[in-house]
C-alpha cells in the first residue's frame, strides 16, 4: 500500500502548462532558463521546452503542438514570418510587421500570434533613458526582428527610419506597409558592398541574425569615426558582445547589446501566458547564469 500511495502522489494533477520555443538553429537558446526562473518566481506551474523545427516541418510542428495542448510559446528565426499562416488570430503589432515571435493559446483553443520583439527593443532603450522620438534610425535587415522594430519605431514617432537590406524589395515592402501610420519618414537604401553609417544617424540597429552563435561573424558595415554620439544596438544575444558591437565601440559609439531586448520581449510573453508581471531583473540574472555555464 505504501508503494501505491507514493505512485498515486506522483501522478496527481493538474498537469503543468507547456510552452515551446521553436526555431532552427535553436541549440544554445538561453530563453528556456530565463522563462523557467520567471515561472518559479511567480509560483506558476509551467514548463518551457526548446524544440528544433526545420523549415520543412513548421506546419506539422504547429499542428502537433496544438494536439499536445501547448499553452503557447516563442518563435524565432527562421519562422517568425512563415508562422503567420498557421495562426488563428493576430495582434495589431503582428499584422503591421507581418511577423510573430509570441503565441498564446486562448480559452477556446485558438492560437493567438503577437510580436513582442519591437516593444522589447524599445523598452531596452527606455531602460537606459534613450528616446527614439524625432531621431534618425537605421535598421539593418528586413526579417522578422527588423520588421517588428521598424513597426514600433514608426508607432513611437521616430523622425526617420532608414531600412537597409541586400534584397531591396523586402525593405520596400516594409516601408509600404508602415507608410502613413505616423509622421515618421521612411527611407529605403540599398546595401551593396560595405554599408557606411552616415554621420547624422542617431541610432543604428543590427537586426539580422548575422553573428548569432558566431563570435567571428559580422555584417558588412563601416563607421566613419565621426559617430561619437551614435548608439549602436544589436538584436543578437549570443554572443552578448558581438563583433558588430565591438566595432561600434572601437569607433566611439555607445553600444546596447541584445540581452535587454531578449529580457523585455520575454517578460511581455510571460505576462501574456500567466497574467502576471515577472521580475525582469531576475530574468536578466537568469540569462547571465545561462551564459556563464557555457
pLDDT tens by residue, the chain, 294 residues: 555 555 555 667 788 999 999 999 888 788 999 999 999 999 999 999 999 999 999 999 999 999 999 999 999 989 999 999 999 999 999 999 999 999 999 999 999 999 999 999 999 999 999 999 999 999 999 998 999 999 999 999 999 999 999 999 999 999 999 999 999 999 999 999 999 999 999 999 999 999 988 899 999 999 987 777 999 999 998 888 999 999 999 999 999 999 999 999 999 999 999 999 999 999 999 998 888 775
Cell of 129: 533613458
Contacts of 200 (CB under 8 A, 6+ apart): 136
CB atoms within 10 A of CB 3: 7
Residues carrying an active site annotation: 80
Angle (CA) 70 32 268, round 5°: 75
Topology (CATH) of 2-115+261-292: Rossmann fold (3.40.50)
Q: What dotted CATH number matches 118-257?
A: 3.40.50.720
Tell me if 2-115+261-292 shares its fold with 118-257.
yes
Where along the chain do its domains lie?
2-115+261-292, 118-257
Contacts of 157 (CB under 8 A, 6+ apart): 133, 134, 182, 183, 184
Amino acid at each position: 500500500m505504501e508503494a501505491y500511495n507514493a505512485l498515486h502522489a506522483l501522478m496527481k494533477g493538474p498537469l503543468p502548462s507547456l510552452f515551446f520555443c521553436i526555431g532552427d538553429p535553436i541549440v544554445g537558446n538561453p530563453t528556456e532558463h530565463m522563462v523557467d526562473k520567471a515561472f518559479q518566481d511567480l509560483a506558476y506551474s509551467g514548463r518551457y521546452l526548446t524544440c528544433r523545427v526545420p523549415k520543412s516541418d513548421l506546419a506539422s510542428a504547429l499542428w502537433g503542438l496544438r494536439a499536445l495542448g501547448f499553452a503557447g510559446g516563442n518563435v524565432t528565426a527562421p519562422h517568425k514570418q512563415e508562422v503567420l499562416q498557421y495562426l488563428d488570430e493576430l495582434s495589431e503589432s503582428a499584422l503591421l510587421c507581418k511577423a510573430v515571435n509570441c503565441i498564446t493559446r486562448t480559452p477556446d483553443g485558438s492560437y493567438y500570434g503577437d510580436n513582442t520583439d519591437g516593444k522589447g527593443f524599445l523598452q531596452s532603450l527606455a531602460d537606459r533613458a534613450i528616446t527614439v522620438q524625432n531621431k534618425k534610425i537605421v535598421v539593418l535587415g528586413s526579417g522578422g526582428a527588423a520588421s517588428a522594430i521598424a513597426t514600433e519605431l514608426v508607432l513611437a514617432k521616430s523622425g526617420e527610419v532608414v531600412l537597409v537590406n541586400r534584397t531591396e524589395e523586402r525593405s520596400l515592402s516594409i516601408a509600404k506597409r508602415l507608410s502613413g501610420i505616423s509622421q515618421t519618414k521612411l527611407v529605403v537604401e540599398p546595401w551593396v558592398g560595405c554599408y557606411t553609417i552616415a554621420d547624422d544617424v542617431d541610432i543604428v540597429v543590427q537586426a539580422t541574425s548575422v553573428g548569432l552563435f558566431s563570435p567571428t561573424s559580422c555584417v558588412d558595415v563601416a563607421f566613419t569615426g565621426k559617430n561619437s554620439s551614435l548608439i549602436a544596438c544589436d538584436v543578437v544575444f549570443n554572443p552578448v558582445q558581438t563583433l558588430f558591437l565591438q566595432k561600434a565601440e572601437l569607433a566611439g559609439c555607445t553600444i546596447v547589446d541584445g540581452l535587454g531586448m531578449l529580457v523585455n520581449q520575454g517578460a511581455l510573453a510571460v505576462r501574456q501566458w500567466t497574467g502576471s508581471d515577472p521580475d525582469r531583473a531576475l530574468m536578466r540574472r537568469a540569462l547571465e547564469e545561462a551564459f556563464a555555464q557555457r
